[in-house]
Amino acid sequence: AQRRYGERCFVLSAAAPPEAPGCAVRPGHGSVLTAFRVSCSAPASGRARPGGRLTYCFYAPPDSLLDCSPDPELFPVYLPLGEEENNFILHVTITVSNNVGDTVQTNTSVKVGPADMMDGNLTLQAVVSEKANSILKDGNNSMNLFQLYKSVTSVLNQQIQEESFNTSLPTNTRKEVSKTLAFLQ
């Protein structure tokens, strides 16, 4: 239809906006090599809404999209390193939107520290390689590999920025892990 000067088109919806869900990350703490599960549950009043299907989008700082889908649960997901100055706490943001574009946002937190290397003689490179092979063997999609890549990279980037030599990874270890990560791309 042609529009004439002064005319406007509006879309009206009787659909109620979504309510903020309750969300949690399990386990409550882990490392960048931990497969986390982010689960959201809609408020009881939101179960039988005529607003259509909801879309859940999960974000890790800084505004990095992890996934968007109608599924209120994200598993497995590899999360980046939490804020060191905040006891490695990472805040995950979840937005929920309905089919007419109404959106609500909620947050949940989890402690994500550097990889714990207490697993015998395994190097970080070996652990990353083993984790990547496991992801591929389980038939998970490339998004899981990308999340693992970003998570381990967050540790390497933090280690590079640290000025203290006694807590940073040796340069050759960083190079070896970087090669393994490059292979995953």
H/E/C letters for each residue in 58-87?
EEECCCEEEEEECCCEEEEECCCCCEHHHC
Question: Which residue has better confidence, 145 or 47?
Answer: 145
> What local confidence, expressed as pLDDT, does residue 48 receive?
44
Tens digits of per-residue pLDDT, 62-94?
A: 889 999 999 999 998 999 999 989 999 999 999
Question: What average pLDDT does this structure show over 151-163?
Answer: 73
Q: Residue 166 — pLDDT band, cuts 50, 70, 90?
A: very low
> What local confidence, expressed as pLDDT, does residue 46 receive?
47
In angstroms, the CA 167 to CA 125 distance is: 17
pTM of the model as a whole = 0.73
Question: What average pLDDT does this structure show over 100-110?
Answer: 93
